[in-house]
Amino acid sequence: MPSIKTGKIRKITYREAILEAQRIALDNDPAVFLFGEGVGGPSGVFKTTAGLKEEFGLRRVMDVPVCENTLTGIAVGAALAGMKPVLIHMFTDFMLMAMDQIVNHAAKYKYVFGGKTGVPLTIRAIIGGREGAGAQHSQPIQALLSHIPGLKVVMPSSAYDAKGLLLASIADSSPVIFIEHSWLYDQEEPVPEGVYLLPLGKAVVKRSGRGITIVADSVMVPMALAASSALDKEGIDAEVIDLRTVKPLDYETIRASVKKTHRACVLDFGYKCCGIGSEVAAFLAEECFDSLKGPVIRIALPDIPLPASPALEALYYPSVDEIITKVRGAFHRV
């Protein structure tokens, strides 16, 4: 698959970008096939697979029974045999039933066989429960997955990134967990037509600044940008880094930013204990301590399951106001 072959730029949503990436991959490479629970329904998986079954047929786009571990084992076997499966587990919670296949098989075979074979498997899954989704349809387990050698974990924050990173994930020879955030599905931005691949493991500076570095993933990126715009009016010039990929992390982009700003705040849409934010903070403490004027601030989800009550749910998730308050405190701290 070529890395750059774009056409005109038009505005599409995050969900449309994911749908378009899958259509391109299916059209360009006969080794690609798509399957998962709900894939072939009338609207597909949250409209991200709508129409693909009709366009490519049941041999390329398959709705399957509820049997997560078996389905993942089939995907691993197909990848070892030269196919490029895209498996949709819908919510990340459902992957927990398939951890044996993901951790003990997909992540290991490249090493077991001395690098002679890859496992070009892409697993799409969704985080971001809302409106009473409850504790078993909302768990952000990206840190758990990132802990496993052999896996790559991608978390796009925009429609442009979603398309380019999904195409890159499908083309990669390693197993990739592609985590989408449901709150972003209707976000719209300019996205080129055609093929483009964004490098896995490379962060991007979404906003330049010299006062404090804000490192963010997934939906926390637009929240960080909204907070930084408000803080700019107070004279706090924040630089916002979008991690894009949380495994592998782009440590050098983070290092370069903190050497310039001397302050850091990490926003992680995951649990605070042992999360991605913890890893970034530990890296800064070990490798960038002399550059820091104060402690690294972390904002993440509380270490409790998501309440099903909408009122409690509203209190559970971080807000732009919380980011503003904590970044302001970190900036003014001596």
Q: Which of 20, 137, 181, 279 is catalytic?
A: 137
Q: Which of 20, 37, 68, 239 is catalytic?
A: 68
Which option is the CATH number for 8-196: 2.20.25.90, 3.40.50.12780, 3.30.420.140, 3.40.50.970?
3.40.50.970
Sign of the torsion formed by the C-alpha atoms of 284, 286, 292 and 298: positive
Q: Model-level pTM?
A: 0.95
Catalytic site residue 68? Answer: yes
Walk along the chain (334 residues) and give the pLDDT tens digit of each residue: 445 566 788 999 999 999 999 999 999 999 999 999 889 888 889 999 999 999 999 999 999 988 999 999 999 999 999 999 999 998 899 999 999 999 999 999 999 999 899 999 999 999 986 677 778 888 899 999 999 999 999 999 999 999 999 999 999 999 999 999 999 999 999 999 999 999 999 999 999 999 999 999 999 999 999 999 999 999 999 999 999 999 999 999 999 999 999 999 999 999 999 999 999 999 999 999 999 999 999 999 999 999 888 888 888 999 999 999 999 998 887 5
Q: Are the folds of 8-196 and 204-332 the same?
A: yes
Alpha carbons 149 and 130: distance in angstroms, whole number:
31
The CATH architecture that domain 204-332 belongs to is: 3-Layer(aba) Sandwich (3.40)
Catalytic site residue 137? Answer: yes
In the chain, where the domains are located: 8-196, 204-332
Peptide bond into 248 cis (omega under 30): yes
Alpha carbons 212 and 120: distance in angstroms, whole number:
38
Alpha-carbon separation of residue 328 from 240, 261, 324 (angstroms): 14, 14, 6
Alpha carbons 88 and 104: distance in angstroms, whole number:
19
| Closest listed residue to residue 22, CA positions, set 195, 189, 243, 187 | 195
Cβ(163)–Cβ(191) below 8 Å: yes
